[in-house]
């Protein structure tokens, strides 16, 4: 029977070290956002060890033509280190573990929520069927050349054509129309336009069925001529 040899890489101590390193917990200590050909990476503090630059698990990394997700781990964010063969240089960091100093953003089983910062989040409430986006400065939706831009002070919809399909629309404040106004007058409104309050018309022409009723119109007079204009 050949004598059993114990090489350093097979020593029980070494095997124990490799096993212990296969899965470790730690906290992200440095983040490198990376560049083309130089992927993003982080260094993780685990026990007395600080790892080399290792990638973090990103949910999706399908390249430029498919789904990929970008979110840098926070400094200090707890993570798992998964090291194939116990080699920490080959490890992958799996951030996203709640801790007492970095807790979850809700304590309600009825909601799914994503916090972006101390002020910005979206939240879905399952039982109510509601979804809320709460964003402090601006939301921009772009579809080709169309854009919906929402800020605390104003909302702008920029699009080649805007249609409101509704039997009833209301504007509770002043309305300014930069172009012409065409009232078709069909549908449930009965086709009658009504204006309450003072009404001022400025411009050269005002007609009714083709007849001049503006400030320059005249009437036939009793002598076969025409009157002067209105005063
Ligand atoms: Fe008149």
pLDDT (tens digit, 9 = 90+) per residue, 14-39? 999 999 999 999 999 999 998 888 89
Q: In what order do the strands lie in the sheet with 41-46?
A: 49-50, 41-46, 23-32, 78-82, 92-95
pLDDT of residue 204: 87
Tokens at residue 179, please? 């172009």
Give residue-wise pLDDT tens across range 176-231. 999 999 888 766 556 788 889 999 999 889 999 999 999 888 999 989 889 888 88
Rounded to the nearest angstrom, the distance between the alpha carbon of 189 and the centre of ligand 1 is 30
Q: Is the pLDDT of residue 1 over 60?
A: no
Task: Give the Cα separation of 10 and 22 in Å (integer).
Answer: 16
For residue 212, what are its two tokens? 């001049």
Residue 185's alpha-carbon distances to 141, 177, 188, 199, in angstroms, are 33, 18, 9, 20
What is the β-pairing status of strands 111-115 and 78-82? unpaired
* Interval between CA 204 and ligand 1 midpoint (Å): 16
**C-alpha 218 – ligand 1 centre gap (Å):** 6
**Percentage of residues in the chain with pLDDT exceeding 70?**
94
- Two tokens, residue 12: 């029980």
d(CA 230, CA 206): 13
Q: How far is the CA of 211 from the centre of ligand 1 (A)?
A: 11
Region 82-90: mean pLDDT is: 96
Structure tokens at 126: 């399952």
Dist. CA 198 → ligand 1 center (Å): 20
Proportion of the chain in helix, strand, coil states, percent, rounded to 5: 10, 30, 60
Q: How far is the CA of 213 from the centre of ligand 1 (A)?
A: 7
Percent of the chain with pLDDT strictly greater than 90: 76
Q: Compute the distance from residue 19 Cα to the ligand 1 centre, in Å.
A: 101
- How many CB atoms neighbour CB 27 within 10 A? 20
Is pLDDT above 90 for 99? yes
Q: What is the mean pLDDT of residues 75-80?
A: 98
Write down the number of H helices and E strands in the chain: 1, 13
Please give the pLDDT value at position 188: 59
What span, in angstroms and rounded, lies between the C-alpha atoms of 34 and 216?
74
Nearest to 54 by CA among 25, 32, 76: 32
d(CA 100, CA 3): 53
Local confidence band at 90 (pLDDT 50, 70, 90 cut-offs): very high
Q: Which residues contact 20 (CB under 8 A, 6 or more apart)?
A: 86
Query: Considering only 1-10, 111-120, 153-162, which range has the smallest mean pLDDT?
Result: 1-10
- Output the average pLDDT for the chain: 92
How far is the centre of ligand 1, averaged over its atoms, from the C-alpha of 184 (Å)?
Answer: 27
Q: DSSP character for 8?
A: G
Q: For residue 230, how far is its CA from the centre of ligand 1 (angstroms)?
A: 6
Token digits of residue 68: 């990929």
Would you say 72 and 40 are in contact if contact means Cβ atoms under 8 Å apart? yes
Instruction: Name the β-bridge partners of 141.
Output: 148
Ligand 1 centre from 48 Cα, in Å? 97
Q: Which of 62-66, 69-73, 226-230 has the lowest mean pLDDT?
A: 226-230
């Amino acid at each position: 029977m050949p004598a059993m040899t114990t090489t350093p890489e097979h020593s029980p101590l070494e095997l124990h070290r490799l096993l212990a390193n296969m899965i470790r917990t730690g906290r992200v200590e440095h983040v490198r956002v990376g560049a083309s050909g130089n992927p993003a990476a982080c260094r993780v503090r685990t026990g007395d060890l600080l790892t080399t630059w290792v990638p973090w698990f990103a949910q999706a990394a399908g390249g430029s033509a498919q789904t990929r997700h970008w979110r840098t781990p926070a400094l200090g964010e707890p993570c798992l280190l998964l090291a194939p063969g116990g080699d920490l240089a080959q490890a992958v960091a799996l951030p996203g573990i709640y801790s007492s100093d970095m807790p979850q953003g809700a304590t309600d089983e009825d909601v799914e929520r994503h916090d972006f910062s101390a002020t910005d989040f979206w939240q879905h409430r399952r039982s109510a069927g509601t979804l809320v986006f709460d964003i402090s400065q601006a939301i921009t939706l772009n579809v080709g050349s169309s854009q919906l831009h929402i800020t605390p002070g104003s909302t702008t919809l920029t699009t080649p054509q805007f249609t409101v399909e509704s039997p009833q629309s209301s504007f509770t404040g002043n309305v300014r129309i930069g172009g012409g106004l065409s009232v078709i007058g069909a549908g449930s409104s009965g086709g009658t336009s009504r204006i309450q309050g003072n009404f001022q018309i400025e411009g050269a022409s005002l007609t009714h069925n083709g007849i001049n009723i503006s400030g320059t119109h005249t009437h036939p007079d009793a002598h076969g001529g025409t009157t002067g204009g209105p005063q």
